[in-house]
Structure 1
Amino acid sequence: FFLSAPRSRQWATMTAKDLPPLSLVGALFTYCPRLLISYVVFICATICRGIKRLVVGPPQENVNKRVLIITDYVPPQTHGIALRFQRYVEEMQKRRHEVHIFSPKMDGARYTSFCHPDLPALVNPYNKGNKMTFSAGVKLAWYLGAYQWDVVHLVYPSLLGWFVLPLCAWRAIPTYCSHHVDMELYFKKYTKGITYEIGTGFYWILFKFPAQQWGTVNASMTQCFLEEHLSMAKMGSLRTAVIPTGVQQERFMVENKQQVLHETKRLREKLKIDKNTKIFLMVQRLAPEKDTHRIFPALHELKGKLDYHLVIVGHGPSEEPLKELAKGLDVTFLGRQANSSLPPLYRAADVFVTCSRSETYGLTVLEALACGTPVVMPHCIVFDELWKDKLPTDWIFTAGEKGSLVNALRSASKAEAKVWLSNNPVTASWAKATEILLEQYDAMIKMNAPVKRRLKGLINLMALITRLLIIILALFVTYHEIKLVRKTWRFLDEWIPG
């Protein structure tokens, strides 16, 4: 499989050719037995909750929400989805909502009363920094059956759709399915032939079908990706939403110009370049689907016409082939960097560049723009929906069109580009994004309220009948005990003299 194959010096060999790893095949074989165990645990938890509800009555309704988030992506993973949900949870908890998050077991994960890194998982063979959950496990099954939830948020891609979504539908819990990865594109990049057909078939059965069948709302960062990803969304037969995105404004937006000058000077000293050299920055996973290699022909064309230095931040399976392609060009690979070190790099760069057309949002683009750095990006359905009407058109290039990327780099590296962006700043906070997400949750809860009321009425009726039956049973037992006592006294009177 791809990661275990010898690393070639040629970009053409950077796609997978072989069958999926045995670990994935093994997980699929254990999927159904583990799913059955999870169902058994859920049923036991539901019975216990039902008995408590019948005896004690319905729980008191709270003003704050009880939200269950199930995701494969959380810190310490350095992944855009992981950072996104870390921010959502922090902002929800600031608003005093009770948020429980279930995630895969991994080194460095913190256990708290609300964070449960307990889900059985295996290492993603195509991205070893991530883990893939392949079973709900006992704890999640118990929590889903035993406790009351206002919203369950399932983060896709996830193998837990067949377990979580039908049970939530049965319990009338609103479910928010957010889709963050274009898996079909990954199948195209990493597989071929029968492997591709099997992979896309399994993906539809295990991932897409339960989301479309039982998800209350299906969401993604852009409407165009959602409609392309889910056929029912395109036909208009699904309730859809655009999940909001933000940045930590206090980290990315700096008013102190001296600080920015200091960061720029420090980076130039590190790269050993003068103040007239334009710094191009790329921040991404170094993998085939990111199309990082497309920038090198443009750099060859710019050589001798524009003083530049490209800085590439990130790591991945394509790192060595990219370094080979970069020979003879002014390029520095900084490798993997902590998320906290990215804002100074964004601010010090003259232009941020991405060649990827596989993004479902492109959080690094928003981060760079929030830092006041012009961005060069390719035309694709996602970037066109998000940025075509908000940024100068000459910053956006057409992949494969001769000279298009070169012209975009030249335009975005002009001094006027940063001036334009300072006059038209891009702002998006996680506080505002979370507020919008909570409004979407509220809309789901409101939409689901009639079903909840019917269930609540039925359960209250069953609770009343149960209590009446208990009272009747108690009276019946008391009556027979009184009769038994009387018989005992009569017996004693007959056999004991005086």
Structure 2
Amino acid sequence: MKILILSEYLHPQTSGITIRIEYYIKYLRKFGHEVIVYGPKDCPTANRTLFSIPCYFFNKDMRICFPSLQLYRDILFGNYQMVHIVGPNIFLFTIFIYLLCLLMKINICTSYHTNAYEFVRLYIKNPYVFQLMTNYGYYTNYYPTIRLKIPILHPENYTDLKILCNNFNKGNVLSTGIDTQLFSFSKNFLRNKLIYIGRIAPEKNLFRLIDLFSLIQSDYTLDIVGFGSVETQLKDYVRKKNIEHIRFIGRIPYDQLYKYYQSGHAFLCTSLHESYGFTLLESLSCGTPIIYPKCEVFRKLYQKDFPQLEFDVDDDEQFLNALTYVQENTDELRELSRKYAEKYSWEKSTEDLLDIYQHISLSNK
């Protein structure tokens, strides 16, 4: 199969979307498919680059791409069996790509990955501006896709389509994988060392994480790995509260993150709005237990296997109980964590994606 993938999310970015798309591309090529990737410049995975600018307001690590004549020409004459647009936006003029593919009878799909509704709500406090932005997002990103009947791909717990699109519940669910060789099991952790790995951004609820750590700072250390828009404010908050034993590690290359997961006694998460949360699965793959908040996505994923590690993010006692459970059951939890992660693989996830492609192709005949 000859596949064109258009994505703004590619290495060296470090988001969960980037991880998913990079592994899809890797295994599609490994399976023998011809994959042409359009993306921002300075992204090694992209065969062909598009002009792009940093997304300064939300996340400087992300770049906004603009279409090119080469892209349109490639769609017209490239003889693709599938065109896959990742996270369409108004700047890509996605509707023109949709119409061009429909006119040329080229199979096309699009995938949404970020719960933008909850994401934007954390950044825009004015209710009128927020409503304006959500209406704008609906009529530019979702409405054309649904009206033109473009097949939609999304993670299992994606919520934007239901919230913004009249309880829309169709689409193809993307399965998830994990690189268990990179994120390998290790027994060499540091007792009483806690870790957080991810973006330092409002939606991660990290000021609450700092508050929780302040309850145990005399007995534990905390490494915060990552960067983001509220990094300076978070460091100031730690200084203001005079909290010790916290290290801000900064940005670490993706292929080196396993060292930090492996070193931790437990991984802390306080985020309440995730479409999946890859960092928790990566931690489990290294054998490091997760202490996670009560929210829909984590409840579906982890409550059955790790009910004692769930806590109400506003309840200090529940957090302390979960931490105590880790202390009392460390060896057993590390084995169970790795066993849980081994159920996932990017090879199987990519096979599932190919099944979706095949189903779309057959339904268009």
Return the TM-score normalized by structure 1: 0.67
Residue of structure 2 in register with 1:151 after alignment: 82
Partner residue of 1:173?
106
Matched, 1:308 2:220: yes
Deviation at 1:380, TM superposition (A): 1.5
- Percent identity over the alignment is 26
Match of 2:347 in 1: 431
| Shift in CA distance, 432/96, structure 1 to aligned 2, threshold 3 Å | same
**1:241-252 to 2 correspondences below 5 Å:** 241-252=172-183
Partner of 1:459: none
**Residues 373 and 215 (structure 1 numbering): CA distance in 2 closer, same or farther, change over 3 Å?**
farther
Root-mean-square deviation over aligned CA pairs:
2.2
- Asked whether 1:346 is paired with 2:261, we answer yes
**In structure 2, what is the equivalent of residue 127 of structure 1?**
59
1:226 CA displacement: 5.7
Match of 2:72 in 1: 141
Between structures 1 and 2, the one with greater helix share: 1
- Where do 1:339-378 residues align within 5 Å? 339-378=254-293
Separation in structure 2 between the aligned mates of residue 226 and residue 196 of structure 1, nearest angstrom? 14
Aligned match of 2:130: 196
Residue of 15, 39, 48 corresponding to 1:79: 15
Which residue number in structure 2 is paired with residue 271 of structure 1?
A: none
C-alpha distance in 1 between matches for 2:340 and 2:278? 19
Cα distance in 1 for partners of 2:29, 2:103 equals: 28
Cα gap change, 1:242 to 1:426, in 2 (>3 Å):
same
1:261-280 residue pairs with structure 2 within 5 A? 261=188, 264=189, 277-280=191-194
For each residue in 1:326-362, what CA deviation from the matched residue of structure 2 results, as whole angstroms up to 9, or x when unmatched?
3323211111111111112111211111111222111
Superposed CA deviations along residues 360-416 of structure 1, whole A, max 9, x for unmatched, are: 111111111111111111121222222222x22121112223422222222234324
Whose Rg is larger?
1
Contact map agreement 1:222 1:385 (CA 8 A) in 2: no
CA contact (8 A) 1:282 1:352 kept: yes
User: Following superposition of structure 1 onto structure 2, how do residues 201-212 of structure 1 map, counting pairs within 5 Å?
Assistant: 201-212=135-146
Distance change (3 Å), C-alpha of 1:100 and 1:224 = closer
* 2:233 pairs with 1:321: yes
- What is the CA–CA distance in structure 1 between the aligned matches of 2:59 and 2:168, rounded to whole Å? 33
* Structure 2 residue aligned with 1:482: none
Paired residues of 1:289 and 1:358 also in contact (CA < 8 A): yes
* Partner Cα separation in structure 1 for residue 339 and residue 154 of structure 2: 30
Letter in 2 for 1:115: N
SS state of the match for residue 181, structure 1? coil
**SS of 2:182 mapped into structure 1:** helix
Q: Which moved more, 1:153-162 or 1:353-362?
A: 153-162
Deviation at 1:422, TM superposition (A): 5.0
CA distance in 2 between counterparts of 1:220 and 1:320 reads: 33
Q: Is the 8 A contact 2:155 2:173 kept in 1?
A: yes
Task: Supply the AA of the counterpart residue of 1:410.
Answer: T
Residue 220 of structure 1: how far off its partner (Å): 1.5
Residues paired across the two proteins, number = 356
- Give me the whole-angstrom Cα distance separating, in 2, the residues matched to 1:213 and 1:342: 42
Counting only pairs closer than 5 Å after superposition, residues 4-83 of structure 1 correspond to structure 2 as 65-83=1-19
1:395 aligns with 2:327: no
Distance 1:146 1:347, change over 3 A: same
What amino acid is the match of 2:165? Answer: S
Distance 1:318 1:203, change over 3 A: same
Q: 1:224 touches 1:385 (CA, 8 Å); kept in 2?
A: no
Q: Contact (CA 8 Å) 1:351, 1:413: kept in 2 or not? A: no
1:225, 1:382 within 8 Å by CA — same for their partners in 2?
A: no
Distance in 2, matches of 1:282 and 1:149, equals 42
Q: Structure 1: 5+ residue runs without aligned partners?
A: 1-64, 269-276, 450-498
Map 1:406-417 → 2, pairs under 5 A: 406-414=320-328, 415=330, 416-417=332-333
Which whole-Å deviations, capped at 9, do the CAs of 1:280-331 have from their partners, x for residues lacking one?
1100111111101112222222345xx2111100111211222233332321
Q: Which runs of 5+ in 2 are unaligned?
A: none
Letter of the 1:131 counterpart: R
Q: 1:424 to 1:316 in 2, by over 3 A?
A: closer
- Decide whether the 8 Å contact of 2:110 with 2:151 is kept in 1: yes
Aligned to 1:115: 47
Task: State the TM-score, normalizing by the size of structure 2.
Answer: 0.90
2:51 and 2:67 in contact (8 A); partners too = yes
